[in-house]
Amino acid sequence: MLNDITAACWFTYLLLFLTEIGLSPRDAAIVMLAGQIADGFATVFAGELIDRFGHFKIWHGAGSILVAISFSSVFGGCLPCKILASCSSLIETVSYSTSAAIFNVGWAATQVSHMSMVNCISLNSSSRVVMTSCRNAFTMVANLSLYAVALVVFSSKLTLGPVFTFASNVQYRWIAYTSIFIGCCFVGIFHLGTKEPRLKICIHGTSNARISWAYWFKKVLYYQVGLVYMLTRLVQNVSQAYLAFYVMDDLQMAKSAKALEMSWTGQRLKAYYSAGGILWVFCGASILFLPRNMSAFMYVISVLIGIANALMTVTGVSMQSILVGSDLKGCAFVYGSLSFLDKVSCGLAVFALQSFQSTTPKTQETLSTGYISVTRYGLGLLPAACSLAGVAITYTMKLRTPDSKSLMEPLLE
């Protein structure tokens, strides 16, 4: 919950916050790129260290502490600017980039350890999909919690002092601080109520020795799953980053608007992923050509985007579980290395889009009605294209699920 709610805040409001305090779109993108690159490398190292030394809960707890402390500084203002008595864009960019990098290192340690636990709880493919679905359900709870908090903050007219009100950039800080508080409550529940997973049996008589990186690099499925996961996260993160810009700048909507068990086989995973990808293609086309006088229709599109993201995310992560199979001693590296692709690609995509985002909303009003903004392309065209590519790659994958019968003996102590 802490990772999910801060990630939702990161992708939804960071660019808005940074541009509102005076950073250029390009500098704001540099801050996000710095965080994404730090996250990408940290996931690989975290995965390797977790495979070597284990102790999922220690990694999760340490990462959560780092997330809570550093995320408050991302939205808390520029401390070096106050110390140096200077508000130059260079100092602000470096300061926020440093905070963003530290935040993402903690986020990576928490994420990789938590995702790796799924495969150590059960070898059953259907059980893993169910656990991934439950995990994704709480991701949706985190997103809804964030947007509920944002709706209250953006709709409030309370005055916080002679200088700031809820109509200023302080509102983003209150959203961030509240998100951290909510997430930390769930971290406490998790650590008090969950036992450290420890392997109880030697799977199929194989050795418990750590699996080398080369083992995964020789698998074609590793690259296929990696591309599908990267494209899925691109769809989810880019759409989340530009949805707020789109409803405010392009559609000129109000600020508050931004705010049964079955047996799972490889074929069924591919079918559900394809359904989500095709649904996103239709959503992208609608966003690309939606006129301002029909902006209310965006609420319907948002619901469909949520459904598409849920289908693609659950099935995409479940494909990673099929890739891991019973090779539990290398599962953290798989999640870490594939997350590296996800983080770096998302950072580069947002940086590229923001580099072209030089037109302000006021300027856009004077342009011809045929003008299509970078925001509209970023939200409509890029996720739809990634979805289509993900569906095509999924079609070529050979997902062999192991025996789906329930395990008679629990895997964990």
Can you spell out the DSSP letters for 144-182? Answer: HHHHHHHHHHHH---B-SSS-BTTSTHHHHHHHHHHHHH
Query: Is residue 182's pLDDT more than 70?
Result: yes
d(CA 262, CA 130): 9
Given a contact cutoff of 8 angstroms between Cβ atoms, the answer to whether 257 and 147 are in contact is no
| AA letter at 307 | I
Residue 409: pLDDT band (50, 70, 90) is very low
% helix, strand, coil for the chain, step of 5: 75, 0, 25
Looking at the whole model, is its pTM more than 0.75?
Answer: no
Q: Which of 158-172, 206-220, 310-324 has the lowest mean pLDDT?
A: 158-172
Given a contact cutoff of 8 angstroms between Cβ atoms, the answer to whether 359 and 245 are in contact is no
User: What is the torsion angle, in degrees rounded to the nearest 10, for the CA atoms of residue 305, residue 126, residue 144 and residue 19?
Assistant: -60
Tell me what pLDDT residue 203 has.
46
Tell me what pLDDT residue 351 has.
81
Average pLDDT of the segment spanning 393-398: 85
Q: How does DSSP classify residue 326?
A: T
Residue 199: pLDDT band (50, 70, 90) is low
Average pLDDT of the segment spanning 138-153: 85
CATH dotted code for 1-197+213-357+371-396: 1.20.1250.20
Q: Which of 42-46, 229-233, 338-342 has the lowest mean pLDDT?
A: 338-342
**40-50: per-residue pLDDT in tens?**
888 888 888 88
Average pLDDT of the segment spanning 13-29: 83
Kindly state the tokens that stand for 84.
């140096």
Tell me what pLDDT residue 143 has.
84
Between 159 and 80, where is the model more confident?
80
Query: Is residue 140's pLDDT more than 60?
Result: yes
Instruction: Give the closest residue to 110 by CA, choosing from 63, 143, 173, 150.
Output: 63
DSSP string, 26-39: HHHHHHHHHHHHHH
Whether the CA torsion 58, 327, 201, 263 is positive or negative: it is positive
Residue 363: pLDDT band (50, 70, 90) is very low
Tell me what pLDDT residue 162 has.
42
Query: Is residue 144's pLDDT more than 80?
Result: yes
Between 125 and 13, where is the model more confident?
13
Q: Which of 16-20, 65-69, 207-211 has the lowest mean pLDDT?
A: 207-211
d(CA 270, CA 245): 32
Backbone angles phi, psi at 2, to 5 degrees: -65, -45
Q: How does DSSP classify residue 250?
A: I
d(CA 58, CA 35): 23
Tell me what pLDDT residue 259 has.
60
End-to-end CA distance of the chain: 25
Kindly state the tokens that stand for 270.
């591919």
Helix axes 170-193, 2-20, angle to 10 degrees: 170
Average pLDDT of the segment spanning 322-345: 75
**235-244: per-residue pLDDT in tens?**
877 776 666 6
Show me where the domains of the chain are located.
1-197+213-357+371-396
